[in-house]
A and B are shown apart, each in its own frame.
Chain A
Amino acid sequence: MNETDIGAYGVPLAMLAGAIRVSTPFLFVSLGECLTEKSGRINLGLEGTLVFGAMSGYAISYLTGSPWLGVLAAGISGCFFGAIHGYICKLPKVNDIAIGIAMMLFGTGLAFFFGKPFIQPQAPHLPSISLGFWSDLPQVQSALSINPLFLVGIVLAVFMWWAFKNTRWGLIIRMTGDSAPAALAMGYSVDWVRFLATTVGGFFAGVGGAFLSLYYPGAWSEGLSSGQGLMAVALVIFARWNPLACFGAALLFGAAGALGPALQSVGITQGYYFFNAAPYLLTLFIMIASVSPKRSLKGAPGELSITK
């Protein structure tokens, strides 16, 4: 085993591997949230959407035998949750954050209710693409066995970054998010744009959930998400509403999550509670570092209820 024992170098490698494995749900949820927030609304319910997406994706994959149909089903169920949020927030005097919390509880509760029969069965998993064939080290090979959804996520991030800047749709969404009166003056329905942005954002979050149950860790259980959807919402603020930065932030969070187990596996066993808390500490520090009472956040959409 000596030739494959890479000692302390295992830690950065494990963090890279962890970043690739763990980041995908963060990436999808944060891209969905980024889209929604760019249009001027906050959807805190994406945690519930993530959990429900994980459940429905697993269930459909199990019932049809096709994991990709499961991903689609997860996305569609995510759309449904996004649409409910979008519709309710259209009504007068409704607070989007309160609705988001309600949708989060609704989504998780509904997923637990319908998910009961799917805890035991084993559903077909999504395949992975092996990009580590050039290396002899099994650690590198396993680090670079990548799920197609991860690549889709990267493409999506780049596309959104480009589209916000260069397309008419991107402009409309940004305008709705920055100044509702301007959008109204231009003849766009603010409510309709936000409804669509929330619905599509829900689709992304649902797909992120399908990744959890169909690839990694790869089974539907009730403790599956453990708050990842909520952390992804915080991540959007850290990424300053920039889809490319969302990708970087998702990788960072994934790597932070891998730190605890990786350090223990090379023998640094003291203080693992601290290292296990790394992603949460990171969230906290980001919030402290990025918030100032003197100015509103750079890059924040002007219509967001938290910045108004």
Chain B
Amino acid sequence: MSAFTVSRRTLLKSAAIGSLGLTTGLLTRGSAQAAGDLTIGIIYVGSRDDFGWNQAHAVAAKALAAVPGVKVVEEENVPETIAVAKTMESMIELDGANLIFATSFGYYAPFMVDTAKKYPDVQFRHAAPLWKDGDPKNAGSYFGYLDQAHYIDGVAAGLSTKSNKLGFVAAKPISSVLSNINSFTLGARKVNPNATVQVIFTGDWSLPVREAEATNALIDAGCDVITCHVDSPKTVIQNAEAKGAKTCGHNASQAALAPKGFITGAEYKWETIYKQYADTLAKGGELPNFISGGYDVDFVQNTPYGAGATPEAIAAADAAKADLRAKKAYYVGPLKDNTGKEVIAAGVEHAPYDPWIDNINFLVEGVVGSIT
């Protein structure tokens, strides 16, 4: 390992001198990986144990570390500043990382792009759909369509509620949050047309006191199933469980927090992507610059059903999972938004991965809430 690192660094220097060195460097990297030497660096913006976004990546990192021939190095609490560029450099120079996963949105530009230009023989991948043509070829994006898992949450929640009122604690009214709220609502109303989803926006990604207040306000307003899209759902799930409401999770498994009322949760399965990358590199192949997907390619999943899920809910949710694996559309016209405006005409449908879904800026009928 150490001998390899030294030779790679020497080649790095030659890469700086001329393009010949660069080519040699790439070749050497390929052959070294064929020998099974792969060091992967993973960078988190927060704590790995946050019951949320970072934990979802950390779980996958652990699975990746179990793959023979793969060494994983991690760093937590790296801010979205020049600090992340330094972390990437130290992972490359000191740990000999050949592949870097930068898992937070703000890591991409300019930090990851610049570092990728500086180290052309190292691969960089970023967990948000930001890579575009013209960006460095050794960089790229991977992303999971969590809204599909939220749709399954909605189906299960729609048949587990008694009051027909579901509550959603959301951070900010941006497209990815709105599409999760919409998917949850569409799922719930597909199996239970009387269900409504009440949304409270807290205004930021991590505000534990306000998230707890929002949870309480929703339960006081009659909601008996609570779910959320915030960085760390721990506060929401814990407070809802304490007040006797059922819960659906977000990002990672929160089942342990709600032994009585947990239904299911929308989770990323980064493991699938990470293992694919490791496998491709081990075979000496080239990594794709952009991959994304949902249920059909196993990039997202749902937490195993908890005590809060009714038998009908489980049956309906399992059926809905099969539909998603077959890429069946759930944005089906005629569909109105919650102000009464038609957003999908009758006869039109938007299947999973339709770019239309990425640009959602409305809340569907059945959502009580406003994005302004």
| B-chain residues with CB within 8 Å of residue A223 when the two chains form the complex | 206-208, 232
- Contact partner of B213 (CB less than 8 A), chosen from A21, A116, A117, A226, is A21
Are A257's CB and B209's CB within 8 A? yes
Complex contact A221–B200 (CB within 8 A): no
List A contacts of B214 (CB < 8 A).
261, 264-265
- In the complex, which residues of chain B have a beta carbon less than 8 angstroms from the beta carbon of A5? 221-222
Per-residue B-contact encoding for A195-228, CB less than 8 Å = 1, 0 else: 0000000000000000010001111011110101
Interface window among A77-85, A235-243, A268-276, A282-290: A268-276
B198 near A265 (CB under 8 angstroms)? yes
CB distance from B232 to the nearest CB of A (A): 6
SS class, residues of chain B in contact with chain A: mixed
Which residues of chain A are near B206, meaning CB under 8 Å? Answer: 221-223
Asked if A27 is at the interface (CB within 8 A of a chain B CB), the reply is: no
Q: A147 on the interface (CB 8 Å rule)?
A: no
Asked if residues A1 and B165 are in contact (CB atoms below 8 Å), the reply is: yes
Residue-wise, chain B 221-236 has the 8 Å CB interface mask toward A (1 for contact) of 1100000000010110
The prevalent SS among residues of A at the interface is helix
Residues of A contacting B50 in the complex (Cβ-Cβ under 8 angstroms): 119, 221
Question: Is A248 an interface residue when CB atoms closer than 8 A count as contact?
Answer: no
Q: Is A181 positioned at the interface, with any CB of B under 8 Å from its CB?
A: no
Indicate with 1 or 0, residue by residue over B285-297, a CB within 8 angstroms of chain A CB atoms: 0000000000000
Partner of A264, one of B200, B212, B222: B200
The residue in chain A whose Cβ has the minimal distance to the Cβ of B244 is A138
Is B211 touching A217 in the complex (CB atoms < 8 A)?
Answer: yes
Q: Is the beta-carbon distance between B51 and A120 smaller than 8 angstroms?
A: yes
Q: Is there contact, CB below 8 Å, between B210 and A122?
A: no
Stretch with Cβ within 8 A of B (4 or more), from A10-18, A67-75, A92-100, A155-163: A10-18
**Given A261-B200, A261-B217, do A276 and B210 touch, yes or no (CB 8 Å)?**
yes
- A142 near B238: Cβ-Cβ < 8 Å: no
Proximity bits, B19-40, A CB within 8 Å = 1, else 0: 0000000000000000000000
B213 to A142, Cβ gap below 8 A? no
A169 to B8, CA, bound (A): 72
Residues of B within 8 A of A262 (CB): 213, 217
Q: Which residues of chain B are near A212, meaning CB under 8 Å? A: 209
Say if the beta carbon of B108 comes within 8 Å of chain A.
no
- Which residues of chain B come closer than 8 Å to A138, judged between CB atoms? 220
The reply to whether B210 and A257 contact each other, CB–CB distance below 8 Å, is yes
Q: Counting CB contacts under 8 A, is B219 at the interface?
A: yes
Given contacts A5-B222, A18-B213, A262-B217, A272 and B203 within 8 Å (CB-CB): yes
The CA of A260 and the CA of B209, in the complex, are separated in Å by 12
Query: B183-203, CB under 8 A of A: which get 1 and which 0?
Result: 000000000000000111111
Given A264-B369, A270-B370 in contact, is the A221-B217 Cβ separation under 8 Å?
A: no
A266 contact set on B, CB distance < 8 A: 221
Q: Does B2 contact A (CB under 8 A)?
A: no
Interface: B361 (CB within 8 A): no
Contact A22 B198 (CB under 8 A): no
Instruction: List chain A residues, Cβ under 8 A from B165.
Output: 1
List chain A residues, Cβ under 8 A from B234: 219, 221
Q: How far is the CB of B115 from chain A (nearest CB, A)?
A: 26
- A-facing mask of B41-81, CB < 8 A → 1, else 0? 00000110111000000000000000000000000110000
Partner of A257 from the list B213, B218, B220 (CB cut-off 8 Å) is B213
CA A139 to CA B217, docked complex, whole Å: 9
Which of A14, A226, A269 has a CB less than 8 Å from the CB of B369?
A269
Between A and B, 14 residue pairs with Cβ closer than 8 Å are: A10-B221, A14-B216, A14-B220, A116-B47, A117-B49, A120-B49, A221-B50, A221-B235, A223-B206, A223-B232, A258-B217, A262-B217, A264-B217, A276-B202
